[in-house]
Amino acid sequence: MIENLIREEIRGLRAYKEGGINSRFKLDANENGWGLPDSTKASIVESLKDFPYHRYPDSDSTDLRERLSGYTGVKPEHLMIGNGSDELIQYIVQTFIGRGDRVVTQYPTFSMYGFFTKLMGGIPIEVYGDGAFRVDTELIIDTAKAEEAKVVFLCNPNNPTGRAMASEEIRKVLTGVPGVLVVDEAYFEFHGESVIKWIYRYDNLVVLRTFSKAMAIGGLRVGYLAANDSIMKYLTRVKVPYNVGSFSQHAAAKVLEHLESVREWLAAFGEVRDAFIESLSAVDRIKVIPSRANFVLIEVDDAEWLWNRLVEKGILVRKFGDERLRKHLRVTIGTPHENEAFLLEIKRILGGM
């Protein structure tokens, strides 16, 4: 009987499952393996002595939006804080998409765009790039027009490929599609280029970002979006109250107080990433996709076999259930120690030593 009560859209979804495998080196979720700098952690701990745990959080995240305004150059009223970017993606889809509406995405890309689209009864349309996962902007525009897509999602740099689009390519899509363009800049800090201030030039632009990657507080679930008045006035109608906890808001604000530490780490990370990609590219039987994020996508003949061998060695990377990505694994670029361990084991497994 219960089956008859379930919405049709829910019956067709598959539960998103993550984790459950113990590992010495966790390189599967694009986390910041370094964690928060000691000075930032000390500042957070010191400030918690009289923290109002008994009070509900500020539903509008006022202080955090004020601080983010200084970081992003976007007015506080044009920023929204979410319980991770996932919640904000859900709000966007809830606002624009109903049954039968089309949403265009590149392929492959972050799975939550399609997940929430299906949840609302919408239809996700995937646009394939070339064999090296470069985005075909003209095809995205043509597809969005042909499908009368209400929303187009572009992840830049893209997850899971690490590929980044130039700003002018994004502008082409922005001015060419009939609906809203959402640019997900979750990995912006690693790339260094952003279109967030374009919300004041284009009324069909939404930009997503997160504190989970470069800012190193993925466990606290803090994301944010930027949009102009014409979009924000509707997004605020679907936002639930008290959606981000007081401690999460507070810790994110403290991270923004210590931005110099973030910038110093990013400079060091850039060198680590370059060295890791260079070393990995030299390993026989592996093809590395160029990345502007904190991970790399690799292609091997038997990704499932390699993934299992790595798990046996205590190293967890990301494999994909999609048959079209059966030859690929995504590897988070970790600390120098983690990277060295990964490179050592993969060379041994593939016979490169």
Domain with 124 in it: what CATH number?
Answer: 3.40.640.10
Residue 42 lies in a domain: no
Closest CA to 277 of 162, 140, 152, 111: 162
Q: Are residues 320 and 290 in the same domain?
A: yes
pTM, full prediction: 0.95
Indicate the DSSP class of residue 56: P
What are the tens digits of pLDDT across the range 149-204?
999 999 999 999 999 999 999 999 999 999 999 999 999 999 999 999 999 999 99
The structural domain count of the chain equals 2
Is the distance from CB of 238 to CB of 97 less than 8 angstroms?
Answer: no
- Rounded-to-integer distance, Cα 270 and Cα 191, Å: 10
CATH code of the domain containing 20: 3.90.1150.10
288-307 confidence digits (pLDDT tens): 999 999 999 999 999 999 99
53 and 189, same domain (yes or no):
yes
DSSP 318: B
Query: Per-residue pLDDT for 13 more than 80?
Result: no
Tokens of 79: 């920023």
Q: Residue 197 domain-assigned?
A: yes
Residue range(s) defining the domain that contains residue 190: 49-258
Q: Please determine, for residue 19, whether its predicted confidence score (pLDDT) is greater than 70.
A: no
Cis peptide before 160 (omega within 30 of 0): yes
Q: Are residues 224 and 308 in the same domain?
A: no
Place of tokens 């694009």: 30
